[in-house]
Amino acid sequence: MSGEDGECSGRPKQVVTDENVKKIHKMILNDDLKRMLAGKKFSLNEEVIAETEAYFKAKDKSYYKNGIEKLEGRYNQCITLKGNYVE
Report domain extents, the chain.
18-80
Q: pLDDT (tens digit, 9 = 90+) per residue, 45-55?
A: 899 889 989 98
pLDDT exceeds cutoff 60 at 86: no
User: CA-to-CA distance for 47 and 78, rounded, in angstroms?
Assistant: 35
Q: pLDDT (tens digit, 9 = 90+) per residue, 55-80?
A: 889 999 998 898 888 888 878 888 88
Full-prediction pTM beyond 0.75?
A: no
- Tell me the residue type at 2: S
User: CA-to-CA distance for 61 and 71, rounded, in angstroms?
Assistant: 16
Interior angle at CA 73, CA 71 and CA 78, nearest 5: 90
